[in-house]
Chain A
């Protein structure tokens, strides 16, 4: 909300400066986003009257002018211009010697073709003003000002730029502050100054001819606005009832409809003071009538509309829902298809406005409009919001209505509009007012309990202090009922907590003393077992040398093909976002592997020679396994447009917001329907010394750290993502828990990772399930171990796992450990064979093993190995 200080000053005298006001308002709850001093880019730019204009002696295209810039000594300046549109007598903007123009342009006196120029005449572009605002300004030449402007007047004053504009952030609960009056009320309470209401809200005004308002120059607006103008009709004026009738057919969506009529209208530009205020508040002036509607909206927060009565067929306004198939061309020129969800203003035949959103082209104010209907209505917020969204046209009006406006103010706003029409000599008021307000809202009342307010805030404020604050904000106190009566414009206040906030923000939040729940029972802050496990996983993988990454949860539908996943792979079954940022971010990921590969590829592209990365990544899986599978080809798009009829079981489980509290059962019901969220440890590495066994080692360390013993790694030949000979499936407790391996060269190429890149995923649910953090000490052995080494010659395809199984089985319980210490192919090993060397450790709990015992065991092992095709190397 842009608030020009000059405008605000009409209601409350701000004597502390814009910046201080902005700061104080921020701490009383109206946050100032910025303060702009409009003319701050101008320095030493004034109006000058051209006394003479003559040809430059040395240049055909230049003219030399003597200019009166209002200097006290009466001296004129000599200024040269290349423009051709200036004549003696014109008043033009002059950038003096050592002046500054918008964009940081500095102007200095200089000689042009041997003749001194003591400044520069300015075009509208050089002043950075809009042609829209000043249509008469020359496109190509000097901006000729109104001849009544006094030479020497500062340019900022002429264009109303001698003002500061504060941009306030208005939260959705305070639509009253989307008007200068609302801001003025807050400002008055904040800086403790009286509030002056605008004339339409005051009584007993004297009549005066206000039609002499000035063009050009800078009139004293305060004086202008203090003239007391009738908004009641003169004798002999027509009665509104002769001109208009209003019928509200949907009182739920239109709580109040107020209309006033102005006759004998003259459509012309608004006076400069009004245009300036509108402009500085961010609204483009159009013509006097449209400007009045905007002015009242900005002043009071009440959206207004003006119809040309000629086009209101039958002289009758009907507020009704649109018929299906009805179309209206709105003021912005677009044709809008309507339906019964949209409230319209219609005449006896056709819609003439979309209620609360935008007027129709068929009834707009034209240059020859003579009779005007001012509409000041209260439309229901949700319906306006829906209509605006549906038609894709949020307007200043709709964004106010949707927040829920005070129906009390429509009458005052209509009167204010008529008053301004009189003030601007835009027309004459017709007698009377049509005001359809079937069910006036009683003022809200809230129990007043200073004790409870203090209890909520942790303060010990006196009740009188609270009442003082509330009264400043125009609340009143009904002592008999011990209730606070809320002023009508404060639609946001309806309960005790709201009063507490009003009190707190003017007491200043920062005066509330810090405490740490002194009355509360001590609670134990501990991680749950799951949370401890997760931290363990994280700490272990980090200790293994891997660094953690964070990636987005979105996924492209194209990613499955890039991963070479089969068409029926369950990972292809994803939750689709109804309104994604783009197609590549349209699914919720079912695997975090693609993002891991992207991270590896990005690091590779940065020429990082090696990287070891991991993510504890959530993945998302449709509850019913449907997702974007062929059964629901267009996914949620259908569901989204399904409307209320297609109420899903979720909404059935979760009843609409009402007095009935939700319960734990609702949580269970929701969880049963929501997609399943899982977490995986996704891991990836490339570059020396990383290889397949690096990843395997991380998993082994992790299992060790978490006390998981029942796991195995099995060859994984059919996972299309991986190199078929260099991948493993991970099983925990016999169940699939993940897979990892070297990327298939096709996948590596597709993702731009190095050729030898290793990656994998492990289900953390499976890890958590099997984890066992309990520990029990095993006594250290008392007797020494007996080591033996065995070097075996086996076929190339034999795995170490098989050999170890054979050895363990043959050796029995005295074999304590087997470690492989060498795998060798090459010289001295026959083609197709490999040498595998193991170091075995034998030990008995109760005695020192003898050479004979160990010799016998080794013989058994060697025999079993031989039977399995492994030959002892000697």
Chain B
């Protein structure tokens, strides 16, 4: 029997060594271990042995079986690994084929710019205020210190519905409405659509969008205005952006300023985009005119504030390098897909 076992073991070793795949291993296992397997037969043959012979013989068989089984397992693991490697090798993809895209749509650049600006000011504790686009003259002009027949009206060619109702020429009436209805302190931005009589071209449009800001509280200074705008400019145009103020005139602020930001093309060195100025004009701002505060029921002896306003199209065209405002309203999907 011992010889038989040695024979079986060497046969098994050979069979395992010759196995090329998992099926061969399975076959080998059946050959030695199946119901009619050679090792099984040896085990069955043990019945013929005397009880004294059985323990030693049993041990021999068990040892042979353990060795064969270990060989089988080892070979099986090796061939499993091999099979996997072959499978992986066969499954190589052409990764240059296009991806399967869900293709979400695109937000309009005006929306993107609006959101970017809003996020900046929300982060500084401002709230977003809104108001109607068709507005009474009184809120759009008069309470902003622009009485009827005032020459300052010439700078904002107005669409009139009738003598007392206009298409708002700026989002400033939202500031007025806020001052009239909300408790102090006020810290708002007012994004929205505005209208001026203007033929559409690369830099003009009869319909456009603005964001204005208003802060009213005790002790608000022009320095706070500079701080707010410089934070805004850095957030929108990059950390290195600087602002520059030039004195100007607006009826609803005093002192008033036009505000430039460093040119994003050249970083302030001077280039064609900024006409060698190093700066690009971006917005208007100032300290709220005490007359405006007073007309809106706020005591200018106690409170002060600042306000600013900018065109969103201007920010969008600047930020996204769009060469004409017209593109924003042509809605060509080849344009929209770029955002």
Chain A residues with a Cβ under 8 A of chain B: 26-29, 31, 171-174, 381-382, 385-386, 399, 402-403, 455-459, 495-498, 500-501, 504-505, 509-510, 512-528, 531, 538, 541-554, 575-581, 585, 588, 599, 602-603, 606, 608, 611-614, 618, 620, 636, 639-640, 642, 646, 648, 650-651, 654, 656-657, 659, 661-664, 666-667, 670-671, 673-675, 677
Contact = CB atoms under 8 A, between A and B. Distances in A.
Interface string B211-244: 0000101111111101110110000000000001
A553 B149 contact: no
A31 B185 contact: no
Interface in B258-293: 258, 287, 289-291
B185 A520 contact: yes
B268 to A, nearest CB: 14
Given A402-B151, A542-B106, A608-B334, A579 B222 contact: no
Contacts of A554: 206-207
B143 A509 contact: no
Contact of B246 (A27, A544, A636): A27
A542 B133 contact: no
A514 to B, nearest CB: 4
B331 A549 contact: yes
Closest 8 CB pairs of A and B: A458-B223, A458-B221, A29-B247, A501-B255, A654-B138, A171-B249, A639-B162, A509-B245
12 contacts: A27-B246, A29-B247, A173-B251, A515-B224, A516-B224, A519-B217, A525-B187, A578-B159, A606-B332, A613-B336, A650-B136, A662-B295
B103 interface: yes
B122 A527 contact: yes
Contacts of A528: 127-128
B248 A31 contact: yes
A636 B304 CA distance: 39
A403 B246 contact: no
A526 B215 CA distance: 16
Interface in B116-130: 121-128
A519 B105 contact: no
Given A524-B127, A579-B197, A639-B163, 8 more contacts: A31-B248, A459-B222, A495-B291, A547-B108, A554-B207, A576-B161, A577-B160, A577-B161
A26 B248 CA distance: 9
A495 B138 CA distance: 23
B254 A525 contact: no
Contact of A523 (B181, B187, B254): B187
B34 interface: no
Contacts of A504: 222, 247, 255
Contact of B160 (A497, A640, A661, A662): A640
- Which of A171, A608, A640, A664 neighbours the largest number of chain B CB atoms within 10 Å of its CB? A171
Given A505-B255, A550-B331, A525 B217 contact: no
B162 A662 contact: no
Contact of A500 (B102, B224, B287): B287
B76 interface: no
A518 B110 CA distance: 32
B199 interface: yes
Interface string B315-330: 0000000000000111
B275 to A, nearest CB: 11
Contact of A515 (B163, B181, B195, B221): B221
A801 B311 CA distance: 49
- Which of A382, A500, A544, A578 neighbours the largest number of chain B CB atoms within 10 Å of its CB? A578
Contacts of A670: 135-136, 138-139
B254 A498 contact: yes
A509 B257 contact: yes
Nearest to A610: B333
Nearest to A579: B160
Nearest to A576: B161
B221 A456 contact: yes
Contact of A512 (B136, B226, B333): B226
Contacts of B83: none
Contact of A545 (B105, B138, B181, B258): B105
B37 interface: no
Interface of B: 102-108, 110-111, 121-128, 132-139, 142-143, 145, 147, 149-152, 154-155, 159-165, 167, 176-177, 180-181, 185, 187, 193, 195, 197, 199, 206-207, 215, 217-224, 226-228, 230-231, 244-249, 251, 254-258, 287, 289-291, 294-297, 304, 328-334, 336-337
Contacts of B336: 547-549, 613
A542 B339 CA distance: 12
Contacts of A577: 159-161, 167
A655 to B, nearest CB: 8
A525 B122 contact: yes
A832 B181 CA distance: 64
Contacts of A580: 159
Nearest to A516: B227
Nearest to A638: B162
Contacts of A538: 107, 111
A80 to B, nearest CB: 43
- Which of A455, A528, A618, A670 neighbours the largest number of chain B CB atoms within 10 Å of its CB? A670
B139 to A, nearest CB: 7
B163 A648 contact: yes
A457 B133 contact: no
Given A29-B247, A172-B154, A580-B159, A548 B223 contact: no
B4 to A, nearest CB: 54
Nearest to B245: A509
B227 to A, nearest CB: 4
Nearest to B301: A452
A542 B105 contact: yes
Nearest to A637: B162
- Which of B138, B218, B231 neighbours the largest number of chain A CB atoms within 10 Å of its CB? B138
A497 B160 CA distance: 32
A636 B122 contact: no
B224 A636 contact: no
A674 B246 contact: no
B331 A603 contact: yes
Contact of B128 (A386, A524, A531): A531
B332 A602 contact: yes
Nearest to B173: A670
B289 to A, nearest CB: 6
B244 A497 contact: no
Given A28-B247, A172-B151, A497-B255, A675 B134 contact: yes
B101 to A, nearest CB: 10
B247 A525 contact: no
A402 B291 CA distance: 21
Nearest to B218: A519
Contact of A501 (B136, B167, B197, B256): B256
Contacts of B132: 671, 674-675, 677
Given A512-B222, A523-B126, A620-B134, A172 B247 contact: no
Given A577-B159, A661-B295, A677-B134, A172 B255 contact: no
Contact of A581 (B111, B199, B337): B199
B332 A603 contact: yes
Contact of A654 (B136, B224, B227, B256): B136
Contact of A457 (B124, B223, B333): B223
Nearest to B101: A545
B126 to A, nearest CB: 5
Nearest to B242: A510
Contact of A661 (B134, B181, B296): B296
B223 A513 contact: yes
Contacts of A552: 206-207, 329
B109 to A, nearest CB: 9
Contact of B247 (A385, A509, A514): A509
A504 B245 CA distance: 11
A31 B246 contact: yes
Contact of A648 (B162, B197, B291, B329): B162
Nearest to B220: A517
Contact of B121 (A525, A575, A603): A525
